[in-house]
Amino acid sequence: MDYALQVLYVDLSARTARQARLDTEISQRYLGGRGIAAYFLSRNATISALDPQAPLIFAAGALTGSRLPAAGRMIVAAISPLTDTLCSCSVGGTLARELRRAGIDMIMITGRSQSELVLRIEDGAVTFEESTCAASAGLEDIFSGFKGFKGAVAAVGRAAFQGCLYANIMVDSTFSSGRGGLGRVMAAKNLRALAVKGRSRTHVCDSQAEELSRTDIMRLFDAAPAIMGRSGIRNYGTGALVDLIAARRMMPTANFRRTYFEDSRAFCAARIKQSMEPGSYACHGCPIACKKKGLHEIPEYETLSHFGALNENSDLAAIIEANRICNSAGMDTITTAATIACLAEIRAERYTGAALVEKVAGIAEGTDELLPLGSARLAHAMGKPWTSMSVKALEMPAYDPRGAYGMALAYATSTRGACHLRAYPISHEILRKPVATDRFTFAGKARIIKIAEDLNAVVDSIGACKFAFLGASLEEYAKGFAAVTGLAYDTQDLMRIGDHIYTLERWINTQRGFSVKDDSLPERFFTEEGSSGAGIEIRPIDRAAFDEALQRYYRIRACGPDGAPTKRRREELGL
């Protein structure tokens, strides 16, 4: 099977675009999405995030356009201006589908335009159009400007142009590139929007086998309570996690000083459903439809919890408004909320209700100087670096690591900073999938995390959604992958590719100066207790046990005690 990715190379300085077929061997080794993005980022691994020549990559997953469920996602990747690590974000919506329809698997954007641009790819033609967006325009207005356009649009908002280091890229007006400030990279290139429309259909090598895989996967979705159950994310969205995480006493509260928020019911999914009666919408080809929208966009679990518990705020209307402002200006809600919570701790204040909304608006409007830089820089500038609840300068999501030790290790080893999605141990430590593990032990977790990181590197490369894996497994998707692409890869072939991708990402970070000293957690988690209660004890994490698990992880990952991939391993992988 001739599997070769089509790459569109765009130079914004010269305003040129060139499409080329990538070498078959490279294409097969990295699949697409996150894998191929890591490959291209590794070719200039030490470049500064905002250097005009630093690449910004949009890469469709290998299964995009197929009939496999929940497999229409893509990756946006660059060096992060917030963390200085490699950063790749899985994004939903329809952009991946349109890219594939346009006959493109990946766009690599370099250079910097003299003036603000819209890059348009339509029916095989690439055009560079001057942007007419007002500097202060909200993303909703920017997307309205594309109203008659039948393709997909990715755009950045005013936060990105004002220098917010956690500005994101929005796709189809509601799907975001989430973390790490990739929107800032796009704005630094003076690129306001990317609009893509294509016509061709995705070629599927074996439609019959594709259908069999689809059926197997759908049956497993139906059998998964976390997906299709009465309280599953299909019904409630990820907000379904609010009650559960609160009950497990691991909901980060008051900038992680506590792990239980008494008022979490104020923003729980059942209450939102009852009071707002939201409808559902989905990424392309996804039967789960986890996105919820009523009069306003319903925030995801992380956003609810961080604008809620992390800021000790029980005002649901304020949470929804804070989320709306973030989406309008194009800002990562996790970092926004966590940075405000960090400031609140430093100043010994609380920002709730209108005060919280005011703080968020201050970031969006560019009137605040330090908050747009993220909690690590803010805490450092204010002389209290220990109050930033981040790893490698990326703020922690809404799972307190004292309540799930696999999560603690995964935050530390993630290649983009404190990320819950690189290994997603919540699936087994909390949601009991594929089987339950003891959340209060490091025993066995080093290899579990390593395997899950490899798995999710594959998931992000084929364009699948991580929620799909609360029901199905790579076993089913591997069969689907072979049917769609014609590449006879089985589960373990894909896992080997995942290992390769993750090691490459780690090697990129190593070259950027990251090492064992950065693979840790804020001191608070080793010294302060969480909020024990209801028969659950939330103790500080044992530092020695954590360090031992980390070193075990390094050995399993074929890294030295400093966290760098060993020379032997690099040679084996040809890095």
> What is the b/e burial string over 453-476, where b = at least 16 CB atoms within 10 angstroms of the residue's CB?
bbbbbbbbbbbbbbbbbbbbbbeb
- Nearest residue (CB) to another protein, 384 versus 496: 496
Instruction: Report the alpha-carbon distance of residue 357 to residue 329 in Å, rounded.
Output: 13
3-state helix, strand, coil in the chain (%, to 5): 45, 15, 40
**Residue 113 near residue 16, CB atoms below 8 Å:** no
| Smallest distance, another protein to C-beta of residue 451, A | 5
Q: Which residues are 106's β-sheet partners?
A: 7, 59
| Smallest distance, another protein to C-beta of residue 23, A | 26
- Nearest residue (CB) to another protein, 165 versus 244: 244
Instruction: Report the alpha-carbon distance of residue 38 to residue 32 in Å, rounded.
Output: 10
Instruction: Report the alpha-carbon distance of residue 83 to residue 106 in Å, rounded.
Output: 24
End-to-end alpha carbon distance in the chain: 25
**Residue 374 near residue 166, CB atoms below 8 Å:** yes
Verify binding: residue 568, another protein, rule CB under 8 A.
no
Binding to another protein in span 100-159, by CB under 8 A: none
- Name the segment binding another protein (CB under 8 A); options: 34-42, 150-158, 165-173, 222-230: 222-230
Instruction: Report the alpha-carbon distance of residue 234 to residue 165 in Å, rounded.
Output: 32
State the amino acid at position 322 in one-letter form: A
Verify binding: residue 457, another protein, rule CB under 8 A.
no
Verify binding: residue 241, another protein, rule CB under 8 A.
yes
> Any residues with CB less than 8 A from the CB of 363 and at least 6 apart, and which?
159, 164, 329, 331, 336, 339, 371, 372
CA-to-CA separations, 411 to 218, 234, 305, 313, 569, in angstroms, rounded:
31, 27, 18, 25, 23
| Smallest distance, another protein to C-beta of residue 473, A | 8
Closest CA to 13 of 110, 82, 138: 110
| Smallest distance, another protein to C-beta of residue 231, A | 4
Verify binding: residue 99, another protein, rule CB under 8 A.
no
Residue 506: left (phi > 0), alpha (psi -120 to 50), or beta?
alpha
- Print the binding letters for residues 474-513 with another protein: x by CB under 8 A, - otherwise: -x--x-----------xxxx-xx-xx--------------
- Nearest residue (CB) to another protein, 293 versus 555: 555
Site size toward another protein (CB under 8 A) is 56
Q: Which of 62, 228, 462, 483 binds another protein (CB under 8 A)?
A: 228
- Nearest residue (CB) to another protein, 44 versus 473: 473
Helix (H) or strand (E) holding 335: helix 333-347
- Print the binding letters for residues 414-443 with another protein: x by CB under 8 A, - otherwise: --------------x-xxxxxxxx-----x
Verify binding: residue 32, another protein, rule CB under 8 A.
no
DSSP code for 316: H
Verify binding: residue 11, another protein, rule CB under 8 A.
no
- Name the segment binding another protein (CB under 8 A); options: 75-83, 119-127, 217-225, 537-545: 217-225
Q: Which of 269, 320, 322, 396 binds another protein (CB under 8 A)?
A: 269
- Name the segment binding another protein (CB under 8 A); options: 141-149, 181-189, 213-221, 249-257: 213-221
Verify binding: residue 291, another protein, rule CB under 8 A.
no
The residues binding another protein (CB under 8 A) are 216, 218-226, 228-232, 236, 239-244, 247, 268-270, 428, 430-437, 443-444, 446-448, 451, 454-455, 475, 478, 490-493, 495-496, 498-499, 552, 555-556
